Amino acid sequence: MATTLTTLAYLVASVLFILALRGLSHPETSRQGNVYGMIGMGIAVVATLLKPGMSAGGIALILLAVAIGGSIGTYIATRIQMTALPQLVAAFHSLVGMAAVFVAAAAFYAPESFGIGVRGNIKASSLVEMSLGLAIGAITFSGSVIAFAKLDGRMSGAPILFGGQHWLNLGLGILLLVLIIAFVGTGNGALFWIIAILAFALGFLLIIPIGGADMPVVVSMLNSYSGWAAAGIGFTIGNLLLIITGALVGAAGAILSYIMCKGMNRSIINVLLGGFGTDSGAAAAAGAGDRGPVKAGSPEDAAFIMKNASKIIVVPGYGMAVAQAQQVLREMADLLKKEGVEVKYAIHPVAGRMPGHMNVLLAEANVPYDEVFELEEINPEFADADVAYVIGANDVTNPAAKTDPASPIYGMPILDVERAKTVFFVKRGMASGYAGVENELFFRPNTMMLFGDAKKVTQEIVQALQK
């Protein structure tokens, strides 16, 4: 009876997780989706604690671990800045990967506790699941650590490349597969740890050649890896909920990675094999050369032109997130709408440093959802726009992606802001974007640079509009 209730509770939790994913697919339902996810996780934890065979000592240790982890998580959640969410997500992915490694080790050294055999005589099927969970978990951990370091500025966001890199990764991947087969056949403890070390190294090598501009896809990909690692370990320990949850996260992350790759005109195979990076030589070549002077304007100039416009499209980017300018941006839009100006927001699939980054920031500022549009929807409208207000975006607006085959971002779909009658580009200076590529748009005759902090510049435009 108790086992049946546990299974039923896991089923309810699984349904709630599916509803959570469905809710997170749209900003309007994302809060509700989060609530479903939290309720599902609460049910899962309680059901696990009440499983038959759980000792009082085991429950006490789990509750202690939950208290420690929950306290740390609460502390981080209350202090984290919105701009630091991408690296936080990468860090959390690394913890999921390491958890899979630890559970695999526990199952290998205490198989009796998991009902998969005895030490030295573990079921072959369990060894397969264990080794896959171990390998994917280790790759997720080291890859996520590198993604965290790049996103947090602790290491350069530029691709790290060396001769024969892809052949080395291919060789290590084949060797890893051979070792897993040998481990399944022998159950040798030394092979277990060799697989772990090799997988840690492979995760490191797969992520270092990926440039900073491609980090949103990397975060999504590592999310998928963490899910498959959890599913593999779920099979090992016979936990139905872990299998379902891991498969949901793995599949959702893989689908999102594919959608983002399609949005950037990249190959999903290249992402999986660590070939998503660009070479520094191309980046340097693309950014080289004197393109001539740029036109610099003032917030008062921008306010006058915007006030007399009929249609304005706002393009937010990571610079807006850094400056925390979303609230004042919405205030500017509200003033313009009172003047009869149509205002829309254009979101690139990889704007910011994680999927949906800009959507979250605009939602935080209570920007109406029906004013926010994705690339495919909004691109045809730039030709009819009087003004494109680019606040903190860079690479996602660079025409070099369409015109310069030598550019590392060539082929990536961009927002066609250059087609607007006037482009206001809010930026601190003339530095290149995260991809290390100079933006051709700065030098176009219809572009006016508004140099300064994104929040301060927008505040000055608001003040000018109120006069």
Q: Report the percent of the chain where pLDDT is more than 70.
A: 90
Per-chain mean pLDDT for the chain: 85
| Annotation marks residue 395 as catalytic | yes
Among 228, 217, 135, 227, CA closest to 174: 135
Greatest Cα-to-Cα distance within the chain, rounded to the nearest angstrom: 81
What is the C-alpha separation between 419 and 411, in angstroms, rounded? 18
CATH class of 292-466: alpha beta
pTM for the model stands at 0.74
**Tens digits of residue pLDDT in 104-121:** 999 999 998 888 888 888
Contact (Cβ atoms closer than 8 angstroms) between residue 297 and residue 448: yes
Q: Report the percent of the chain where pLDDT is more than 90.
A: 39
- Among 40-54, 227-241, 333-347, 423-437, the minimum mean pLDDT is found in 423-437
- Among 31-40, 181-190, 249-258, 329-338, the minimum mean pLDDT is found in 249-258
**Tens digits of residue pLDDT in 306-341:** 999 999 999 998 889 888 899 999 999 999 999 999
Q: How far is CA 51 from CA 5, 16, 59, 238, in A?
A: 9, 20, 10, 13
Q: How far is CA 416 from CA 243, 260, 266, 396, in A?
A: 43, 18, 19, 9
For the cut 50, the answer to whether the pLDDT of residue 279 exceeds it is no
**Tens digits of residue pLDDT in 330-370:** 999 999 999 999 999 999 887 776 777 888 888 888 898 88
User: What is the structure's pLDDT at 213?
Assistant: 61
User: What is the structure's pLDDT at 1?
Assistant: 62
Pairing relation of β-strands 422-427 and 372-374? unpaired
What is the C-alpha separation between 406 and 284, in angstroms, rounded? 10
For the cut 50, the answer to whether the pLDDT of residue 285 exceeds it is no
What is the C-alpha separation between 39 and 13, in angstroms, rounded? 8
User: What is the structure's pLDDT at 462?
Assistant: 95
Pairing relation of β-strands 117-118 and 121-122? antiparallel
User: What is the structure's pLDDT at 380?
Assistant: 94
The domains of the chain are located at 1-79, 84-277, 292-466
What is the C-alpha separation between 268 and 220, in angstroms, rounded? 12
First to last CA, the chain: 73
**Tens digits of residue pLDDT in 54-102:** 788 888 988 899 899 989 988 888 888 766 777 888 888 899 899 999 9
Give the pLDDT band of residue 447 (cuts 50, 70, 90): very high
* Residue of 395, 404, 416, 453 marked catalytic: 395
Give the pLDDT band of residue 430 (cuts 50, 70, 90): confident
